[in-house]
């Protein structure tokens, strides 16, 4: 069997480590940018009542018509733009790559960035080009990006706005320069849109190669897996062809439509998370010997003293707090850890544990 595996499984797949998700049982979970708030009893009861009408014996609506309508209304999607749903935005990244894939073609992204851009590009067998961000503040190194575009002629560029795992929001003029220089598609990934005030959604149509991707995961519905891609119909009609039929299941369709009727609640939670983020950032900056980076997302990246990241991460875990250790993730992230903004009491527990670890 092992010989067959060696010959059949592509070498680049055999060399990969499977995407690792840390076991959080029994820990305060501040590692995955989840919204920490749960629904009240009353809302939960109303949701469950609505699920009575869902039939599990039938395939879902293939286009998620109800979800599309609810999203269009709740998210102020320009009416002249198309909308494509994914099983999480991860699936949309995969669809985009599949639609453009050829072995000699390049996907470009900025690093450190969201790892799925590189991973999916590899799964699909395209070339990947990661351009480093500025080492001091993780801003776009525009000359480096423009040179990489010139050299690699990427068919697809991902720009996360705000960026994960650094938390900053790139300069919009730099982004525009990239969109204008790109020979292919540029996807602005707005996974953290609920936690910032700027968006490219309103600029759709200004350039023929711009698409905007979003997800409901970070705004409180990570368990449902729903991402959406917005842009000119002509593009989305093509990308839709590689979508697997029925990719959004009936429970997700019903639950998203329900949750978006309670949009005000999700907005309130996002505001609370933003306020808590500022408190957390101020506390990290004022009281600890760490460098905390400003964030427009629902997490904070911070750098500890050289060589200490693994010990601090382990110390926090021993005290019941799970965050993300990025020390080994990218050279620019040496000594860096990332904490997701949790409930006020979770953040207090984190800060207290961190104080004991430093």
Ligand X SMILES: *Cc1c(COP(=O)(O)O)cnc(C)c1O
Binding site for ligand X (CB under 6 A): 33, 88-90, 114, 160, 164, 189, 191, 215, 217, 222, 227
Q: Residue 118: exposed, middle, or buried by beta-carbon count in 10 A (0-12, 13-18, 19+)?
A: middle
**CB 33 to ligand X: min, Å:** 6
**CB 29 to ligand X: min, Å:** 15
Dist CA 216 CA 248 (whole Å):
13
Number of other CB atoms surrounding residue 101 within 10 Å? 17
CB 342 within 8 A of CB 320: no
**CB 318 to ligand X: min, Å:** 27
**Of the two residues 164 and 347, which places its CB atom closer to ligand X in the complex?**
164
**Of the two residues 324 and 349, which places its CB atom closer to ligand X in the complex?**
324
**CB 166 to ligand X: min, Å:** 10
Closest CA to 185 of 85, 78, 111, 93: 93
**Of the two residues 109 and 280, which places its CB atom closer to ligand X in the complex?**
109
CB 310 within 8 A of CB 91: no
DSSP string, 86-104: ESSHHHHHHHHHHHH--TT
**Of the two residues 122 and 227, which places its CB atom closer to ligand X in the complex?**
227
Q: Which residue is nearest to ligand X (CB)?
A: 88
**Of the two residues 113 and 154, which places its CB atom closer to ligand X in the complex?**
113
**Of the two residues 164 and 308, which places its CB atom closer to ligand X in the complex?**
164
Can you point out the beta strands (E) in 57-205? 82-86, 106-111, 127-132, 156-160, 185-189
**CB 217 to ligand X: min, Å:** 3
Axis crossing angle, helix 344-357 with helix 263-287, rounded to the nearest 10? 20
**CB 292 to ligand X: min, Å:** 19
Dist CA 62 CA 68 (whole Å):
11
How many Å separate Cα 280 from the centre of its chain? 21
């Amino acid at each position: 069997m092992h010989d067959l595996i060696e010959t059949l499984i592509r070498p680049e797949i055999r060399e990969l480590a499977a995407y690792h998700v840390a076991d959080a049982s029994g820990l305060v979970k501040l590692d995955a940018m989840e919204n920490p708030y749960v629904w009240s009893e009353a809302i939960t009861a109303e949701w469950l009542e609505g699920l009575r009408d869902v039939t599990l014996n039938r395939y879902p609506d293939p286009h998620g018509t109800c979800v599309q309508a609810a999203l269009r209304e709740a998210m102020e999607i320009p009416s002249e733009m198309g909308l494509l749903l994914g099983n999480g935005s991860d699936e949309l990244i995969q669809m985009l790559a599949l639609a453009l894939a050829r072995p000699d073609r390049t996907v470009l992204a900025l690093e450190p960035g969201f790892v799925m851009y590189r991973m999916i590009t590899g799964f699909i067998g395209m070339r990947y080009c990661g351009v480093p961000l500025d080492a001091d503040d993780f801003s776009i190194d525009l000359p480096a990006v423009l040179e990489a575009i010139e050299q690699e002629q990427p068919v697809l560029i991902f720009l996360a706005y705000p960026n994960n795992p650094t938390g900053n929001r790139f300069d919009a003029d730099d982004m525009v320069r990239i969109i204008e220089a790109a020979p292919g598609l540029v996807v602005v990934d707005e996974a953290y849109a609920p936690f910032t005030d700027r968006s490219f959604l309103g600029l759709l149509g200004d350039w023929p190669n711009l698409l905007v991707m979003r997800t409901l995961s970070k705004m409180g519905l990570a368990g449902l897996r729903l991402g959406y891609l917005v842009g000119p119909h002509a593009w989305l009609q093509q990308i839709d062809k590689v979508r697997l039929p029925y990719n959004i299941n009936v429970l997700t369709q019903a639950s998203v439509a329900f949750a978006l009727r309670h949009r005000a609640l999700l907005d309130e939670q996002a505001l609370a998370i933003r306020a808590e983020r500022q408190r957390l950032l101020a506390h990290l900056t004022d009281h600890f010997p760490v460098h905390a980076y400003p964030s427009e997302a629902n997490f904070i990246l911070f750098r500890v003293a050289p060589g200490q990241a693994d010990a601090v991460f382990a110390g926090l875990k021993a005290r019941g707090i799970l965050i993300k250790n990025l020390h080994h993730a990218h050279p620019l992230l040496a000594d860096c850890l990332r904490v997701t903004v949790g409930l006020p009491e979770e953040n207090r527990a984190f800060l207290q544990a961190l104080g004991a670890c430093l």
